[in-house]
Structure 1
Amino acid sequence: MARSLVDLLTTHASQQPERTAYRYLVTGDCDGEIQDISYGHMARRSRAVAAWLQERGLAGSRALLLYPPGLEFISGYLGCLSAGVVAVPGLPPQGRSQNHRALTRMKRLIADADAKVILGGREVLATLAAQAEHLPELDGITCVATEDIPDQAADSWREPDLTADSVAFLQYTSGSTSAPRGVMVTHGNLLDNQRAITERMGHTPDTLAEYDHELFVSWLPVYHDMGLIGPVLNTVHLGATATLFSPLHFLQRPARWLTALSRYRPHTSGGPNFAYELCLKHATPELLDGLDLGRWKVAFNGAEPVRAATLRRFTETFAPAGFRREALYPCYGLAEATLIVTGGSVDTPPTLAASPGSGPHVGAADAAAVGSGRPIPGTTVVIADPERREELPEGEVGEIWVSGAGVAKGYWRNALATRETFRATLKDRPDRFLRTGDLGFLREGELFVTGRLKDLMVIDGRNHYPQDLELSAEMSHGALRPGCTAAFSVDGGVEGEQPVIVAETAPDAAADSERITEVIRSAIGEAHGLSVRDVVLVHPGTIPKTSSGKIQRHASRAAYLADALAVVGGPAAR
């Protein structure tokens, strides 16, 4: 039985050395330059990187991975695992225009992980060298461009002594409500979660044979858990083939994703809800005429709130291209549980339900809560009252608590946060649970996620979930960008907490801003019985989001209070 993904890579390289493991669309286009790597070559490249690390006595230390999108990241990551080095995927610097926030995050990763080596691409390392005066943290750290490590180095590779409890990598959280923390994901966590993904998404031997091993198409960033543990690692777990391309190329032209799905016809592909909205925005008749999405079996949707309206519109729009509603696959997971926690059944359409305590209109089909499936095998999900530490009955909203083999070891060098987050207990129950910080409810065994605990707004003694207000606002006017609205509350003095809505809209909507604002206020009042303190329309791309696309409501609130929002049309829009 395999002890790690390293064992599985060795097996696939031995049994099917010529099979393509990954192909990379360099320009994001199927008819552009394509790079690929076979299992035999991938194993050799990974061992070459591993041998380089082993020869420098780095086993057990941390290696920060800073790569541009491409195949070299995978060699570096698997090379770390093959050397017994703890990989730390990071967001690479973006040239001289690197913004202060990204630079600060990279400094934090270097310091917090106590990285001893940085693996990356030549251009990335050249950029780091050019910024050395701003990065004193680099002193004493070895930097190497892994493409400069020759294949022949693999000859001196030694198999590492790995156990299920050995830390494979640190997945730094995106920090939607707090400073990023390094989640210690073990080799055992990885294997358990890979088995769960395989089972829940129907990646059976028969399915792989039917699809000629074309398993994934993905543009998701590989430094994030969804893009890494799903498309990249499930591929090597099963010895299948994945087609990858850059997130930037997707954002520049969302049609590239659909075109790649039509060309390579994989079984599984997906992303956060905003990705489906972007595709809808660019769904021209010409694009639809050239697509064949009939083989897309699992269209997973996670990492941010799943919108019922998005699911409906995506199905209706792309049905002429063969897309089926049954392919929609809402799921739930988080880095602290490796990745997947709940998921549906293949060929089963999503479940919709009214959220408990929601306003009178939230039960409408387009505003319903979307089920994220049932717990994966071996995982327990309970809904808890975090104050009383009691399990809540079915249908009641509380904090989502999780236990199972996929739950990570804890936070790197942060015993207090580990105890608070990973060691929660319920009254009269010995099990230890992971506190997710997410709110939700269970109905007939299925999980419905309703929001973040820290984002919950209490106004006039009633609980209000910001995503409910955001959805009502977005649905009220066509000029508002889906998935680009932030709702939060501010202190209204004697009037108590009051809601504020910040929404992205096109700059050309400035002339109509007063009307849009009135429509939003009316929609929130009608659906939730709330009087909105302020509505702010801002330029596209200016609402703070995490690396996985989640709205950063606390950062939005801070920008609002500091009068630092990029307001469309100036003060008149408020």
Structure 2
Amino acid sequence: MSNSGDFVSHFRERVAEQGDKAALVFLADSGAGVSERAIGYAELDRRARRVAAWLGERTGRGDRALLLFLPGPEFMVGFLGCLYAGVVAVPAPMPDSNGRGMSRVAGIARDAAVRAVLSHATAIDAVTAWAERSDLGDAVGVAAVDALPEDLADAWSRPALDGATIAFLQYTSGSTSDPKGVVVTHANLLHNEEEIRLALGTDAETTVCGWLPQFHDMGLIGQLLHPLYLGGTSVFMSPMTFLKRPYLWLWAVSEHRASIGVAPNFAFDLAVRRISDEQLATLDLSSVRWVLNGSEPIQAHTVEAFTERFAAAGLRPDAVFPCYGLAETTLFVTGSRDGRRSIVVDPRALERNEIVATAAPGGRALVGSGSTLGFEIRIVDPDTHTVLPDGRTGEIWVRGDSVAAGYWKQPELTEATFNAVADGEPGYLRTGDIGALVDGELYVTGRLKDMLIVNGRNLYPHDIEHTARRAHPALQAGVGASFVVGERPERLVLVHEIKASALNGTPVTDLLASVRAEVRAEFDVHIAELVLLPRGGVARTTSGKIRRGEMRSKFLAGKLATPPELTAETTETAETTKPTEVSGAVISGAVR
């Protein structure tokens, strides 16, 4: 699409073409109505130059700047300002008002050795106080991007940039003490945006609509930067706006005639459950070409239910677009550009790492994540590093120009993860995900570190959690985490959120028995420990993924809180746990 060697040059070409056309449209819900704030291309460029000039006076090329913003267009002003200055942007989640997330963000700031912190006027006092408490040093400047002098834009001078210049560090969800910053270069970013364009068939007329966190890879690359790469428009809202009123996401798609929507799998479930018939009648989704479904395991029944529910609003039957990607590949790897595919497989064969189609009852439906254009994908035995044939599951390894430069300041981990050798060929990224290739289609079946081995059988935690949720409506509004403790024999543990008001008279002992029966019938495995938590009790990452390892550690330490109204009835779990505060991340309450 462009011969530019860096994202700044590419974006400024779009600025020259689009002028005052809306680049960003932010929607805010006051409860009394939805308000809009729009920024055009020329204005976004001018504001980015102001930030870049401010950074140029205080930082050097290649220094890092932390971005701490509440949802809104100012985040992108700060992000582009960093790129315009040759400064490495470090997006991070804003700590909440209760202080949760402060230590993680401080760990990111220290790991990146940031020289500046960017925010906006509404949050600058809180951010300044946080920076002082975090002891970042006197040399770290703090600024609100919307309070900088207007004339700074004219003081900007373009730094020397090329494809190898680091654009930003994408910190993946990890521990506070050991944050992992993925190093994304300008060349990585341009290549991945082009991959997305080719897969989706997008252009300057494209409007993308979403609500994902702006610091998250799917929110940043797919929801915000992709429209800017094209010369299109990004319409977005805060995650909390969506979680409180899922209708507003599809209302915005309808109102702004968006052609692309972006969301993880749980959002499709939430839309089906929470959007009423009356609200459905107000929607016109005929403008939608694709609704991207990624970031977490894709459930076949979710895709079917969403497609069926919103067909009445004009949604095309093939509009849901399963895709696969990760921060280490900038974002996008595969997508269903040739049409959505699924396959029903023998679950016993899957436990043996084989994909075997079946028409027999009890088969497991797998949704394909599409094919690739610009990557080499190999399915590899994670132990022997032998490339496996079609139809065998193993670790997904990828190679291509979107693959990031490595992990910030972690050369050994970078070498092991980003330069793996498969059948004598170096340069592969080990994704840590499990999947298989069937006729060029990638089927992602799980996460290597989450695989449950029970009595020699390989089980996938999200399958067990999904089956458990079917046991009773009180579980369907929450999420679960399954894991194994002990050795020979291994004990399967399920921790699950419960909405007590949805029990509707069902004794908790009966619910526990139903969950165990459902899981035993589906997988022929016994749940040794079943712990019920309040909604929000299962820890999740900022992108909504289940933190199973964290929940396992809390279970082993006896640090899980059981709702007081259930304690008397759940003696089998209450005796083995002790109450403490358990809180999720930004989207921990996503399926309330």
SS of alignment partner, residue 533 of structure 1: strand
Contact between 2:6 and 2:161, CA under 8 Å: does it hold in 1? yes
Distance 2:300 2:319 in 1: 14
1:75 aligns to what?
77
Distance 2:32 2:363 in 1: 34
Distance 1:55 1:343 in 2: 43
Q: 1:366-445 counterparts in 2 under 5 A?
A: 367-375=364-372, 377-427=373-423, 429-445=424-440
2:587 aligns to what?
none
SS of alignment partner, residue 386 of structure 1: coil
2:345 aligns to what?
354
SS of alignment partner, residue 157 of structure 2: coil
SS of alignment partner, residue 526 of structure 1: helix
Distance 1:382 1:248 in 2: 38
Given residue 412 of structure 1, which amino acid in structure 2 is its aligned partner?
W
Distance 1:191 1:142 in 2: 30
CA 137–201 in structure 1, closer or farther in 2 if over 3 Å, else same: same
Distance 2:362 2:454 in 1: 26
SS of alignment partner, residue 432 of structure 1: strand
SS of alignment partner, residue 325 of structure 1: coil
Q: 1:112-511 counterparts in 2 under 5 A?
A: 112-131=111-130, 134-175=133-174, 179-204=178-203, 208=204, 213-345=205-337, 348-354=339-345, 357-358=349-350, 367-375=364-372, 377-427=373-423, 429-481=424-476, 484-491=479-486, 495-509=488-502, 511=506
Given residue 520 of structure 1, which amino acid in structure 2 is its aligned partner?
V
Give deviations 1:520-570, integer Å, cap 9, x for gaps. 111111111111101222211110111111111111112222222232412
Contact between 1:280 and 1:317, CA under 8 Å: does it hold in 2? yes
1:565 aligns to what?
560
Contact between 1:383 and 1:398, CA under 8 Å: does it hold in 2? yes
The answer to which of 26-35 and 245-254 deviates more is 26-35
The runs of 5 or more residues in structure 2 that have no matched partner are: 574-592
Contact between 1:424 and 1:433, CA under 8 Å: does it hold in 2? yes
2:47 aligns to what?
45
The answer to which of 73-82 and 463-472 deviates more is 463-472
Distance 2:545 2:332 in 1: 17
Compute the displacement of 1:30 (Å).
Answer: 11
Given residue 68 of structure 2, which amino acid in structure 1 is its aligned partner?
L
Contact between 1:362 and 1:527, CA under 8 Å: does it hold in 2? no
Compute the displacement of 1:439 (Å).
Answer: 0.7
Q: TM-score if structure 2 supplies the norm length?
A: 0.90
Q: How many pairs does the alignment contain?
A: 559
Contact between 2:119 and 2:127, CA under 8 Å: does it hold in 1? no
Distance 2:176 2:107 in 1: 16
Compute the displacement of 1:509 (Å).
Answer: 4.5
The answer to which of 177-186 and 406-415 deviates more is 177-186
SS of alignment partner, residue 122 of structure 2: helix
Distance 1:398 1:362 in 2: 24
Compute the displacement of 1:302 (Å).
Answer: 0.7
Distance 2:111 2:176 in 1: 18
Distance 1:94 1:137 in 2: 19
Compute the displacement of 1:304 (Å).
Answer: 0.7
CA 248–150 in structure 1, closer or farther in 2 if over 3 Å, else same: same
Task: Provide the identity percentage.
Answer: 39
Contact between 1:488 and 1:499, CA under 8 Å: does it hold in 2? yes
Compute the displacement of 1:180 (Å).
Answer: 3.0
1:553 aligns to what?
548
Q: Which has the higher contact order (CA 8 A, sep 6+)?
A: 1
SS of alignment partner, residue 126 of structure 2: helix
Given residue 374 of structure 2, which amino acid in structure 1 is its aligned partner?
G
CA 472–32 in structure 1, closer or farther in 2 if over 3 Å, else same: closer
Q: RMSD over aligned Cα, in angstroms?
A: 2.2
Distance 2:40 2:414 in 1: 39
Distance 2:195 2:31 in 1: 32
Compute the displacement of 1:358 (Å).
Answer: 3.9
SS of alignment partner, residue 426 of structure 2: coil
Given residue 311 of structure 1, which amino acid in structure 2 is its aligned partner?
V
Tell me whether 1:63 sits opposite 2:65 in the alignment. Answer: yes
Q: TM-score if structure 1 supplies the norm length?
A: 0.93
